[in-house]
Amino acid sequence: MLEDIKKINNEINEEIISIFNMLHENPELSFKEHHTSELITSYLDSINIPYRRIGQTSIIGILECSKKGRTIALRSDIDALPIEEDSNHAICSQNKGVMHACGHDFHIATLLGTAKTLNSIKEKLSGNILFIFQAGEELLPGGAKEIIESGIFDEYKPEWIGAIHCEPDLTTGKIGIKEGMYMASGDEVFLTVKGQGGHAAMPHKTADTVLIASEIIVSLQQITSRHCPPQIPSVLTFGKIVGNGAVNIIPKEVNIEGTFRTMNEEWRTKAKKLINTIAKSIAENHGAECDVNIIDGYPFLRNNIEYTQKVKKIAIETLGKQNVVDLDIRMTTEDFAYYSQKIKSTFFRVGVGNKDTENSPLHTSTFKADKKALKYSITILSTICSKFLI
């Protein structure tokens, strides 16, 4: 089976690279991926894989193999980021201020290539495969919820869902895997300190909103350092504070913005209550008030241990042990986590770093995935699915 997959992969390589280039040149923001969606449906039509539309731009291809069997699913996100590309590459974004800086163009091309490969060998397989091209991963509430709420999983009942994410810190040809807890939940924290502003030379006649905001930020760090159980990874970071005063003016209002991330849902709920209580009590003690608005983000991402061990074994057999790396947990977020809360899941990394050039991190204006990595990502996804569906 592996030789069949490699042969097909070689035959479609230039075609998939062309699709990747087209996607990279035409990035679209979350939930506005109309051109991207049409490219996907056009390609699925060309290889005779039926599909359904979910919402405005999400697409689910449905491959029925020759014999009845289990259903599995693969997911690619399809949206881009509001970043102006800074690149001297021949292939660059043609949409000003929008860029595939997180590699979703690579993910789409991989999944289309995997769909064509598996469609070519479906007579040797049993069961069904859902190819999920999902909108809006980069923007709350995320497109995964829309897919789940559509009811398609209730209809097809996939036993496992997998997804890749390109990783510039891994060189092309390598993949990275982590069993169990892998990525954090992520909530957005907005605090507004309100008080009687006034002259900076007479702070005793004011509620010093800047000082109060500073005390709130420092005190809230105790949530992760003193209240959080030490075995639970947690991060509370504030990245923005705006007090529109002056050297001699204490403003009436100071706005604070941050993020809270963790890997335990019970602690997550408790911590958000603590943020609310501590921030409000500090403001009240100073004769001010604090409005607290916490927007729930994605839950934590958990890779199913049994299936992820199977994926790792297949990866070692396919790519060699030296090319399969054990990953650590990371406090970044992913709306694939919604799937992982419902279905046995594996979310893993595919190396796209070119060792001969300087690699840029994800979410930067100079990031670009190595096209040579497409062969590896299609091969590993196709092989995993073929092993699960024999």
Of 79, 179, 208, 335, the catalytic one is 79
Contact indicator for 327, 308 with CB cutoff of 8 Å: no
Residue from 28, 33, 137, 208 carrying the catalytic annotation: 137
Active site residue 137: yes
Backbone phi and psi for residue 385, each to the nearest 5 degrees, phi listed first: -65, -40
* 105 part of the active site: no
Amino acid identity at 195: G
Q: Tell me the catalytic residues.
A: 79, 137
